[in-house]
Amino acid sequence: MCNSRMKRCIFFALLFGLAACETVLDPYGRPIEAPLGMPGGDVAGGGGTFSLITPQQEIDLGQQLAAEIERQQRVHPDPQLQAYVDGVGQRLVAHVTRHDIPYSFVVIDSPDINAFSLPGGRTYVYTGLMKLASNEAELAAVMAHEIAHLALRHHAATITRQYGFEMLTGIILGQNPDERSRLVADLVGAGIHARYSRDQERAADELGMQLLANAGYNPEAMLTIFEKMRTAAQTRPNLPIFASHPTTGERLQRLQALLQTFPVNVRADSPIYAERYQEQALSKI
């Protein structure tokens, strides 16, 4: 199989004289290609761009942004709910090949239908989105898509391209509070996510569905939650997640085709955990 990701991988391998590619097979024998060992930056999966901030800078930047977001937004006060959602996230993270960032998950108490991940590993899930999901697998599907953006190193490349290396290092050093606020506003709104390329979105859907199945959830949940988001967008079109992740008919068709690549028993028998979700999430939000 010689796809564009593999070609790009080989290109960077030649450029740096490194064996930069590793091919990992998922449990169904399909290849997952992960670029490895990039000095001073990483190849962004699906986007074809080259990031200039290092993983450590990405983590430092994420911490700055998280502090600002958690000042502005209401973190849900129930520790059991937080632990439950973090548990769902960690079950998915157990199947990623990127391990140089700490993955964490935080519930924001807000009616907005929203979820996004920060550079450096933190993902926020809004209670408005959690209410739209009717089982744990649907929540996990959205989280898996966000984890996939992180695992495929989309953040560093996208924000470096958008904001520039100097501005980002200024924010990391705490020298640039106004720019930090602007970046946070972009992250909470559609700004940064709207700049993910279509290739990056496709790659995040693809890896996300794989993570979902590998973690033992029914991969069909990705299709059902995106269908619900599409319906919700018809009455609440101005919410940021719809601008950043438009659920078009084309996307649903693509997800449907992707679903067919999983074995019949995985599609038929994998659980969605509706009762557990009711008890541990819906009853508390």
In the complex, the residues that contact Zn ion under the rule CB under 5 A are 204
* Whether the Cβ atoms of residue 117 and residue 147 lie closer than 8 Å to each other: yes
* Whether the Cβ atoms of residue 217 and residue 141 lie closer than 8 Å to each other: yes
Q: Which residue lies nearer to Zn ion by CB, 106 or 204?
A: 204
Backbone angles phi, psi at 55, to 5 degrees: -55, -40
Q: Which residue lies nearer to Zn ion by CB, 81 or 188?
A: 188
* Whether the Cβ atoms of residue 252 and residue 270 lie closer than 8 Å to each other: no
Rounded CA gap, 138 and 217, in Å? 9
Q: Provide the Cα torsion 244, 206, 19, 50; round to 10°.
A: -10
Rounded CA gap, 50 and 143, in Å? 25
Half-sphere exposure of 20 (CA within 13 A, CB side): 21
Half-sphere exposure of 146 (CA within 13 A, CB side): 28
Q: Which residue lies nearer to Zn ion by CB, 167 or 192?
A: 192
Rounded least distance, CB 149 to Zn ion, Å: 5
Q: Which residue lies nearer to Zn ion by CB, 142 or 259?
A: 142
Rounded least distance, CB 237 to Zn ion, Å: 18
Output the six-digit token pair for 204. Answer: 């995040």
Rounded least distance, CB 193 to Zn ion, Å: 6
Q: Which residue lies nearer to Zn ion by CB, 195 or 284?
A: 195
Rounded least distance, CB 265 to Zn ion, Å: 29
Residue nearest Zn ion by beta-carbon distance: 204
In the structure, how many helices (H) and strands (E) does the chain have?
15, 5
Rounded least distance, CB 201 to Zn ion, Å: 5
Q: What residue has token string 């700055």?
A: 64
Rounded least distance, CB 117 to Zn ion, Å: 9
Q: Which residue lies nearer to Zn ion by CB, 139 or 204?
A: 204
Show Cβ contacts of residue 148 under 8 Å, excluding neighbours closer than 6 positions: 203, 204, 205, 206, 207, 208, 211
Rounded CA gap, 81 and 188, in Å? 21
Rounded least distance, CB 151 to Zn ion, Å: 12
Q: Which residue lies nearer to Zn ion by CB, 202 or 276?
A: 202
